[in-house]
Structure 1
């Protein structure tokens, strides 16, 4: 595939929302515009770069400590992180080209190649939901190997800063610091936790919400907008590869943070498929 084809965008849009899909680079939702305002992060350093999947360390980045490309957008990873090859997400699934099929004016299916390292294949179906300002991402993970694979779908969305993430939790202190020092970024009262991602302080937090909804509240720089991300299911913490269903990462090298929903992990038998979906809704936040 040529560079131009790898970076060919497919657009799904209505009067309020424009989804920009990028099948050629990991089957991403590369950006979402709400009334002309971009909500997701696209890495300007790697724009139009044609990756060599055998040497992804050559992809331009300011975050040299992370051994994988930061393309941007929303994508599907595979948990657990401890099983990643060479400490990065599976190259064919995260950075390789996906075949795509236009199912309707508002629906596109993107299918990865089978990963030669794991035997796993990802299918991502994206639907613009025109009756509301929102969209649905349906993730499918199929085991094409000849052995069981312990794995879980990991939905990762890179959003532009400044933002605040909120969700309902058993107690405001029921979270784990997975990386860095969030300093004063975390607050809570009652059964809600809030995580502020506003500056270049790298940290990662894991928590297990009591419900399926997490919210991204954008700062004034982006307009008064709240993005709701509703997972299709949530089970007991022990069902998850990382011990919780939700993670938030804040970058020190770029102006983005990540909202990461996990699906429960389990042993996938040969030929078996796991499914998980996240529904997104956008609304203007009252002043």
Structure 2
């Protein structure tokens, strides 16, 4: 932006013929205005003004550059005006995605209110627990629980989410309550896995006294739908590792019981993932800001319940 500021000062010096007046017009001191002109002259390698004690007059190079500079500033102001209009009246389609449970509990319920606030934005929501290829599938924003692994994307962290391992009381009565993280391995317990082609969740990472440790766990069956895992756990078929906000209601009701509370799972980050170039689209910033606020408020409400 410094180059644009230099151009604005240069244009006003040409039009006013006075460095101090141009500086005041651009809310800059005479010294700052003078430095901006010097930066332009150094960059262009030419002298832009003939200087006298009373007035600055543009050189031939200065007059030619003035015509081009005016066009540049007009184009910038036109572009800025267009963006302002979009921000005030955003339009177009937004393609967003989220995991099934996150989408059903947080993202999906917030869409109608977002649309009411920005009625000219069409929101197309796709829910899937599979890893979505944002670039090839034309996704604008992916809300996910996890880490950014693709360097061609950007991530805005929303909040860290506590996780919990839990099971139904009837399962714990039948199989016993695990006392240490090592009780999860060697087929001592049935761990219910979220698994699909390309899935990374073949292990659980726990916070032990020795630090973070990965435990390769196993179970009699798995699913690519995290809500199915929750239903299996509620039915007494095994242990699940879930974000606390997703199962807090069942814990409050006594339908699920937390275990290994002295060695809890590592927390997971809720984040918005988007392609680099898409962040210039004001709709992207609007949906991320809106959902970040909604998710913060709703998750905190759930955790306080």
The reply to whether TM is greater than 0.5 is no
- Structure number with the higher strand fraction is 1
TM-score of the two chains, using structure 1 as the length reference: 0.23
Larger RCO (CA under 8 A, 6+ residues apart): 2
Greater gyration radius: 2
